[in-house]
A and B are shown apart, each in its own frame.
Chain A
Amino acid sequence: MTCSVHRAILLADRLILLGVGLEGTLPDRVDVSIPDSAELQLPVVAQSAVSIAISRFATQAGHEAGDDSRVAFMSAVRLPHDLARTLITEGETIACRLVRGGVEIAAAELECEPMGAFLPYLAIELQLLSVEAERSDPPLGLFLKTLSDPASARPADFRIDFYSLVVDAGLIAHGWAANAGAGTSFFLLADCRLLVPDDQVAFNARPDVSADIHRKGGMEETRLHGVTIFEAIPGAPDNIQLIAKRADGIFRSAPVPLDPRQFARILNELHGPIPLPEQIRIASSPVFQKVVAGFTRTAEGTLRSFGPSRPAELTVILPFYRDDFFMLDHLASQRRVTVPAEFLFVSDDPELTQPMIAAIQSRGSDLVLPTRLLALSENVGFGAAVNYALRQVETDYAVIMNSDIYWSRFDPVAYAVGLLKAEPDVGVVGFRLYFEDGTVQHAGMELKPSSELGGLMVAVHPGKGLRPAAPVRGPVTHREVEAVTAACIVVRRGDFPDGLFDPGYVGGDFEDADLCMRLKRQGRRVMLVESDAIFHLERQSIRASAGHRFLTVMNCVRFNQTWF
């Protein structure tokens, strides 16, 4: 045999053939036939002569050893995306014919090796890749250059575990890899598209991984083992592969299935050890914001009606998520309502829908007001759920309430409705709220720069957790404030034809401050109704969160970019 081709590698959308032959007998092109798909002609674009390497390469390729006149060659072509995808996903065999001077000099049938399976292990391969790297545009060029580093000659002793990936307009991946922060380059393969996250990678300490490395007697080069990668990806690939390149080798992950439902969870978990400046950098990144904005959670809504039917001027909107404990209290509270009203329970959690229906159906005698249940097919978050619910409302006024709000009397709410009726320039009315032990949960919010959040403006609750300076007793009153929490507010429905909350905020944070800022820019006023009758039994799990939740940082950055 004077000439042969023996490897067909798919690097992203590029088909690369590697071959070897006697000097002077190399093909000038390779004709490739992909069954039922395409006929391609690939020019032979590179050749090299490295005697020792060639010798080993040739031996492996089935050539006789010891002939120094042999050279390796490489041929590459960029394939149409669909074709590359087919080759990768279906593992097609291709037929290659080596042609010189218009005459076929050799032929072979080869299985295409997807890039993930390919690791360059011979110097000649590395050299060929480096040549290809020089003539390829980024990101493939960069990738090939990285691969062709001689240190890549063996698989790295490297483990990576990404517990989840999310994709829609992009992806956010979060996980760990031992010593990830010590000079690791990351590449992402989304189907057959190669992506280089570049600046969109952040590292964080992972004491658990550190401990594991020490326990196993390994070398810890850095404490930064946690990795977060985000990247905009056009389309919606079926899976993502991660390629990590380190000084001591290269590692590829198994294909990771993508689960859009993990979006909120990942955002929730991106906190703690990631340093705050890194969190702010990520949240401020246009690429990241594009990924988040592209992630739109949509849900189908189903409405059911219970209880009596009668006209109402006020709708009490109550979204529920994760916990239906408070259903009973809200049902019982209907008897305390003193204006024509209806209740609209919102199940923003498919698992809660049946228990919520059961709770309503078992307490028929509590249903003294028209009552509806809006069941959403997916969890969309507080703001989106409220926006959805508001579209189902026909009354002039709406109370928006967290499920853990409890009113011992209704008169403050009736007062708030009266305020909206009497004063057209009032845009939203919130309430003084108490914790269960009688200390203040909310008495109006103030916007202040936060030294803990790099000077960004945040909404603070002055006096939270303290006894009110002067106990609020006697008649209900009101005063103007800078902002109010949306845990319990009253609005005019007609003021918000496009929804109450900006859906760009995720996880029920900053939406209320944003709403108040928006209203004030429109010349509206924000009011707080003072009474001793409304409690906010804020969940302990939220209070117990350690460190800055990334979601808070993300929403905070959005809030600051919008208003300051």
Chain B
Amino acid sequence: MVLDPSARHAERPLRVTIVSHGHPALSIGGSERSALSLFENLKAADDVLPTFVARAEPRHLGHDGDFGLFHGRTDEILWAPPAIDSFRVVSFSPDRLRRQVSELLANTQPDIVHVHHYGGFGADLFPILAEVGQVPIVATLHEYLAICHNHGQMVKVTGGLCHEEYYADCGTCFPDYSSGKFFLRKQLLLECMASVDRFISPSRFLADRYGAWGLPRDRIVVAENPLPASRTPTANGTAPRRSGGPVVIGFFGQFNPFKGVDVLLDAMLIVQSSLPPGAIELGLFGGNLEIWQPEFRAAIEARIAALGPAVKRSAYRNEEVIDLMRRVDWVVVPSIWWENSPVVIQEAKAAGVPVLCADIGGMSEKIRPGTDGLHFAAGDARDLAEKLLAIVSGEIETPHPPVPLSPIELTAGIVEVYREASAAR
């Protein structure tokens, strides 16, 4: 398989070093999974030679060096970088980071470096990579980390959505930092990000937000993160329509305060009070509830208990997700933050299942009402409940989502960005 026909006659494959802030086998998260999927897809191509480099804790390396191999795989390198300043998102030890980058790039000899997330390394990774490697740097933007100190979510610490960064407002969210410090945080991040040749944004929404914030918009390419090739939609076919029995909706992903699982459970409680038993069922697929604050955990557990047998809860392995999705009628994505391009939406599309999602950010961009699914007002359990009731009653017809681009087609799109970044130098 050739991903870049224009380079067909190149003497050797394009060497790509993908830097991820984690290895999905060691830390679960959408961005890690996206990075590994890209790596695996590139690896299957004849004209690209990728190396996957994932940030890891020193304990995962098994020794006190800075690098190690994941399960002995020579093209999957684990990297234990120095700690970062979580406010500035820069390394506490840039000199040491530079030494590590020199070692790494001498080893991987890349033609291009694709940073899938700088969060675990610090944004000063970009100028260091550019200076040491002297190769084009491509960076995928995931959430709004550079814009927002609140885990990059652009959600106020009090819970409301944040529409734009404003230093004084940021200082209100985090009183330990003056607005002047937020100004400096931004100057430094912009300075670091100036070393990036091309940014990839999986959604136009995210690209526009970063453009408004200060990144040169013409350097941001909107391109979806490819799923693993095994999730090729044509291989899965469209989801079979079940007849009779309850309407089954599914939530897939992390149980964290930003994902809106509480909104979904509240909506279910409203729906349940209006419908006969057995009319609707909710499958909660996911985990990591245990790592959150006790109050959040207790609130979720209490709602699940109140819903009784209408909720079925289980963890899942990522390989199973398409099969699990095909067993539900709708996938619900109730996130209360803007999201970018949730992997769960891509997976639902690959599974051929319609999506009922919040009407904000990358979610509303990815789901076209009536075609791929439906929107509801973000954070509004009552509106979600109304939509669910309409689905159960048949008032809302379940759409048949069209087949999306395949992972290989999306991967070729990424390689096109590499080619463009190299050509622009």
Query: Chain A residues in contact with chain B, CB under 8 A?
Result: 325-326, 328-329, 332, 361-366, 404, 406, 408, 435-437, 535, 537-541
Minimum distance in angstroms from A355 CB to a CB of chain B = 11
Minimum distance in angstroms from B90 CB to a CB of chain A = 7
A329 touches B184 (CB 8 A): yes
List A contacts of B178 (CB < 8 A).
537, 539-541
Of the candidates B88, B96, B167, the one whose C-beta lies within 8 Å of that of A328 is B88
List B contacts of A539 (CB < 8 A).
178, 180
Of the candidates B94, B166, B171, the one whose C-beta lies within 8 Å of that of A363 is B94
Knowing A332-B191, A437-B168, A540-B179 touch, does A326 contact B184 (C-beta < 8 A)? yes
Knowing A362-B93, A436-B167, A437-B168 touch, does A328 contact B180 (C-beta < 8 A)? no
CA distance A539 to B168 in the complex (A): 12
Knowing A328-B88, A537-B178 touch, does A436 contact B183 (C-beta < 8 A)? yes
List B contacts of A332 (CB < 8 A).
188, 191
B96 touches A537 (CB 8 A): no
User: Closest residue to B88 on the A side, CB-wise?
Assistant: A328
List B contacts of A325 (CB < 8 A).
181, 184
CA distance A221 to B101 in the complex (A): 73
Minimum distance in angstroms from A183 CB to a CB of chain B = 44
CA distance A365 to B96 in the complex (A): 10
Minimum distance in angstroms from A519 CB to a CB of chain B = 29
> When A and B form their complex, what is the total count of cross-chain residue pairs whose Cβ atoms lie within 8 Å?
58
A362 touches B94 (CB 8 A): yes
User: Closest residue to A538 on the B side, CB-wise?
Assistant: B180
List A contacts of B191 (CB < 8 A).
332
B95 touches A406 (CB 8 A): no
Minimum distance in angstroms from B304 CB to a CB of chain A = 43
List A contacts of B95 (CB < 8 A).
361-365
Question: For the complex, is B27 an interface residue (Cβ under 8 Å from A)?
Answer: no
The 10 closest A-B CB pairs, nearest first, are A537-B180, A436-B183, A540-B178, A364-B95, A362-B93, A436-B180, A436-B167, A329-B184, A363-B94, A436-B179
Minimum distance in angstroms from B172 CB to a CB of chain A = 11
User: Closest residue to A358 on the B side, CB-wise?
Assistant: B92
List A contacts of B168 (CB < 8 A).
437
A406 touches B94 (CB 8 A): no
List B contacts of A538 (CB < 8 A).
180
Chain B, interface size category, equals: 20 to 34
Minimum distance in angstroms from B95 CB to a CB of chain A = 5
A328 touches B188 (CB 8 A): yes
Query: Chain B residues in contact with chain A, CB under 8 A?
Result: 85, 88, 90, 92-96, 98, 166-168, 171, 178-184, 187-188, 191
List B contacts of A406 (CB < 8 A).
183-184, 187
CA distance A535 to B171 in the complex (A): 17
B182 touches A436 (CB 8 A): yes
User: Closest residue to A331 on the B side, CB-wise?
Assistant: B94
B92 touches A362 (CB 8 A): yes
CA distance A437 to B186 in the complex (A): 12
List B contacts of A435 (CB < 8 A).
180
16 contacts across the A-B interface (CB closer than 8 A) = A325-B181, A362-B93, A362-B96, A365-B94, A404-B180, A406-B183, A406-B187, A435-B180, A436-B167, A436-B184, A437-B166, A437-B168, A437-B183, A539-B180, A540-B171, A540-B180
CA distance A437 to B88 in the complex (A): 19
CA distance A404 to B180 in the complex (A): 8
Minimum distance in angstroms from B387 CB to a CB of chain A = 41
B188 touches A329 (CB 8 A): yes
List A contacts of B167 (CB < 8 A).
436-437
User: Closest residue to B191 on the A side, CB-wise?
Assistant: A332
Interface centre among B85, B167, B184, B191 (most CB of A within 10 A): B184
Interface centre among A326, A332, A361, A539 (most CB of B within 10 A): A332
User: Closest residue to B167 on the A side, CB-wise?
Assistant: A436
CA distance A326 to B184 in the complex (A): 8
Minimum distance in angstroms from B164 CB to a CB of chain A = 13
CA distance A90 to B187 in the complex (A): 64
List B contacts of A436 (CB < 8 A).
167, 179-180, 182-184
CA distance A535 to B181 in the complex (A): 12
CA distance A325 to B181 in the complex (A): 8
A537 touches B183 (CB 8 A): yes
CA distance A404 to B184 in the complex (A): 10
CA distance A150 to B85 in the complex (A): 68
Minimum distance in angstroms from B366 CB to a CB of chain A = 34
Interface centre among A362, A436, A539, A541 (most CB of B within 10 A): A436
